[in-house]
Structure 1
Amino acid sequence: MTSSRVNRHQTKELDVQLLREGVVESSHTAHVVVCDARGRTLSVAGNPELATFIRSALKPFQALAVTAAGAMERYNLNDQDLAIMCGSHQGTIEQVRQVFHILWQSDLDSTALRCPTPAGRKSPLEHNCSGKHAGMLAVSHQQNWPIESYLDRNHPVQKLILSRMAELLGMPADEFIMAHDDCGAPTYFMQLRQMATLFAMLSSGDNLEMERIIRAMTSHPSLVGGADAFDTKLMELTDGELVSKSGAEGIQCIGKVGDGLGLAIKVMDGSKRAKYATAIFTLKQMGWILPAVADTLAETYMQIGPFKRLDVVGELPLIY
C-alpha cells in the first residue's frame, strides 16, 4: 500500500489517561482501526498500517488448522475443545481438564506439550496457551507429522496455519515475518488493518470453519479467558454478538458477528489496562455495545480503584 494512502487514512491516535481524583497522572497512546471483510478501512484513529506482532489474537486462526484438517471429526472433539484452543486461559481445573480432553481424545500425553510450565504450577497443561498447543498436536498426530518438533516454523502444522492466514489476506506466505511467542509457538508481524480484516472475515458468517470457531468462542467464553477476563466478560455481556481475543503487549481484536466487521487495537507501551479502556470507548462510540454494557465493563476495567479511573480522549472518524 502506498505512503499516500497511509497519510490519507492516518488520524490522531487515542490518548488513554489515568486520572487520580480527576488529575492526569499517566497516559498511553492507542492506535485503532476498523475494517470490513474485504479489507477496507472504515474507521481509524492513528495509523492503520502500524505493524506489530498479533500475539495471542492469532489463536482463532491457528485453530483453523484443526477444523481444516478434519481433526475435530477424527478425534470426536467438541466446541468446548475448540474454544480452549482459541483461548488464553487461567489454568483453572475446568480449563485444564478441557485441554487434557483434547490430548486424551487424540491419544496423546501431556508430556508432548512444548509450552512451558508456568511459575508456581505443576504442568504445562496450566499454561494459558496449552489449548492452542493441544490443537497443533492433534493435527500433527492425525496427519502422521512429527510430534516433537511441532513448534518449528517449518513444521507442516505451522505451514498449514500460515497458508490459511496468507490465503485469507491474499498474500504470499513467504512475505510474513515470524517470531516465536513466549509459549514457543510462531506468531506473526502484521499491520493493524490486517488484524482487523482477519477478525472481520472471522465474524462474517461466510465460512463454515470460521463460523464454527465463532460459535465455540461465544458459546463457551469462560474457556477463552476466565473469571474477570475481558474477552470472557465482553462475549458474555453481548450474547454472542461480538467475538473478542486479546493479545499481549497491548493487542486487542474484536469482530462484530454476522456483520463482517473487525476491530484491532494496539497500545504502544503494551498496557493491558489501556487496551481494555480503548476497546470499551471504541465499541460504545461505534454502537457495537449498549450504554449499559459499556457502563458494566467500565466498572471493572476503567474504574480501577477508589481514587483512580481511566479516560479515553480522541475520536474514531469514519473513512468511508
Structure 2
Amino acid sequence: MKGAVNTYRGNIVECSHNVHIAVADSNNKLLKYHSNPDEIVYARSSVKPIQAIQVLESGACEKYSINNKEIALMCSSHSSEDYHVEGIDSILKKSNLSEDNLKCGTNIPFNLNVYKNLIKSGKDISKKHHNCSGKHCGMLISAKFNKETLDDYLELKHPVQQRILNDISKICGCDRKNILIGVDGCGAPVHALKLKNLAYGFAQMANPANIHDKSEYINKITEAMTSYPEMVGGSDRFCTELMKACKGRIFGKMGSEGVYLLGDKKNGIGIAVKTEDGSNISTNCAVVETLNQLGLISKEEKEKLSKFHNPKLKNDRGEIVGETKSEFKLR
C-alpha cells in the first residue's frame, strides 16, 4: 500500500495518499505533472486571490481606502487571530457595513488557542471569526460600490458572483459553461475545473502579461499576499510560512479537502495540487516536494519548510514514532 505521499508508523505505511499535480506556465503549456492533471476538482478557497480581482477592479478598494494588508485578508482563510478580526472590523467600518451584512455563518477558528480563549472568556464565535470573512468583505464592498443588492450577494445570479465566474474563466482559460458550480462551506459558489487549468490560472497570476486589462490588479493582489503573509493564513500556517520562506517570489493559497495552488513570480509558473483523501498534511508535503523537484526552492528555503515537507508523527507523549514523506516523481 503506497501512494504519492505516505505516512509511516515505524517501518510500515499506515496511510497512503493519492495526489494529482499539474505544473503550467503562463502560455498554458503543461510542463510537468503527476497522476491526472485533467482531474476535475473543486478549487475551494484556493482561488480567493482570483476572486479578489473584481473587488480591486470595481474601484471599491480605492473608494473605501482598503490597504494592502486588508487586500491580503480578502484572499485569506485566516486563523481568527486578533489581527485578523481587527482587519475584518476595519474593512467593515471603512465601508459603513456591519457584521450583520456577512452571510458566511460561523465556524471554529483554525487557531485552537483563539477558540480556547473565546470559551474561557465566555464569548461567542462571531462571523468575523469565520476563515472566509475576508473574502465575504470583499464581495460586499464591491457590491456596495456598484450599488448592487447586499442581502443576496452569495447567489450565483448576483453580479458579484458573475464577475467572479468571468474572472475564473478568463484567468484559468476555461469556458464558463465547463466550470461546474457547487456551494462552499461559507455559502458562496464554489468552482470545479481541471487541475491543469487551475495551474495555468496561477501561472497567469504569477505573470499576468497576457491579461493586460487585469495585470495591475493581479500584481497588487500578489504583492499584498507576499508582503503580509500572516494575513493570508496565520501563526504556523503553511501559506504564511511558504511565502515568508520564499521572500515575495512565491504566493500560495490552500483550499479545503487537500487543494493547493501557488505561483512563482520569478519563473511565471503555476502549480496545482489535489490530494484525493483531502489530507492537508499530505498536500503541504507534496507542494514542497514539487517545488524541490522543479528546483524552485533553495536548500535554505526547503529547510525552513522542513516541518511541512517531512512532518513527524508523534505519539501522545511527544515521541516521534513515524513520518510523512513524498515518494513520487514528476513526469
TM-score by length of 1: 0.92
Q: Is the 8 A contact 2:88 2:133 kept in 1?
A: yes
Letter in 2 for 1:154: K
Deviation sequence 1:42-81 (CA, Å, 0-9, x none): 0011111100100000100110011111111111111011
1:257 paired residue number: 265
Q: Is the 8 A contact 2:309 2:325 kept in 1?
A: no
2:144 maps to which of 141, 144, 159: 141
Fraction of identical pairs, as percent:
33
2:322 paired residue number: 308
CA RMSD of aligned residues (A): 1.5
Quote how far apart the aligned CAs of 1:294 are.
1.6
2:304 paired residue number: 296
2:154 paired residue number: 151
1:35 paired residue number: 24
**d(CA) in 2 for partners of 1:133, 1:50:** 28
Q: Is the 8 A contact 1:129 1:183 kept in 2?
A: yes
TM-score by length of 2: 0.89
Say if 1:80 and 1:110 are closer, same or farther in 2 by CA, change over 3 A: same
Q: Is the 8 A contact 1:58 1:187 kept in 2?
A: no
Structure 2: runs of 5+ lacking an equivalent: 109-114, 116-123, 210-214, 315-319
**d(CA) in 2 for partners of 1:101, 1:314:** 45
Within the alignment, does 1:183 sit opposite 2:186 as a pair? Answer: yes
**d(CA) in 1 for partners of 2:311, 2:128:** 33
Say if 1:225 and 1:39 are closer, same or farther in 2 by CA, change over 3 A: same
Corresponding pairs, count? 305
Letter in 2 for 1:290: S
**d(CA) in 1 for partners of 2:297, 2:57:** 32
Q: Is the 8 A contact 2:286 2:309 kept in 1?
A: no
2:251 paired residue number: 243
1:8 paired residue number: none
Within the alignment, does 1:287 sit opposite 2:276 as a pair? Answer: no
**d(CA) in 2 for partners of 1:151, 1:217:** 24
Deviation sequence 1:131-184 (CA, Å, 0-9, x none): 000000000111110000000010010001111222223444233211110000
Within the alignment, does 1:228 sit opposite 2:236 as a pair? Answer: yes
Q: Is the 8 A contact 1:19 1:308 kept in 2?
A: yes
Q: Is the 8 A contact 1:244 1:255 kept in 2?
A: yes
**d(CA) in 1 for partners of 2:174, 2:259:** 22
Letter in 1 for 2:244: E
**d(CA) in 1 for partners of 2:239, 2:300:** 17
Structure 1: runs of 5+ lacking an equivalent: 1-12
